[in-house]
């Protein structure tokens, strides 16, 4: 059984990998996603509990599939 904190860390890592593939800073990603830079940092460290809507919004702002993020 998965611990939700471990899942959040994996999701955050996936967002970080996809962001860096696109050579975006956290600041630029935050701008594209219309969120604060601190929020992106928390997401990438697995400290931010995400709703499904927010996962979809963040994935869309990177122009990637949600399945890339959730394929744990």
Which CATH number fits the domain that encloses residue 44?
A: 1.10.260.40
Contacts of residue 30, Cβ cutoff 8 Å, sequence gap at least 6: 36, 37, 39, 40
> Which among 10, 47, 2 has a CA at the least distance from the CA of 38?
47
> Is-contact 56 11, C-beta < 8 A?
no
Q: Is the pLDDT of residue 72 over 80?
A: no
> Which pLDDT tens digit goes with each residue over 5-56?
999 999 999 999 999 999 999 999 999 999 999 999 999 999 999 999 999 9
What's the domain count of the chain? 1
Backbone angles phi, psi at 62, to 5 degrees: -95, -5
Domain span holding position 17:
4-70
């Amino acid at each position: 059984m998965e611990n939700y904190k471990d899942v959040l860390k994996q999701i955050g890592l996936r967002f970080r990998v996809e962001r860096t593939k696109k050579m975006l800073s956290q600041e630029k990603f935050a701008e594209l996603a219309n969120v604060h830079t601190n929020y992106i940092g928390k997401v990438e460290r697995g400290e931010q509990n995400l709703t499904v809507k927010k996962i979809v919004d963040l994935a869309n702002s990177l122009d990637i599939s949600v399945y890339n993020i959730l394929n744990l």
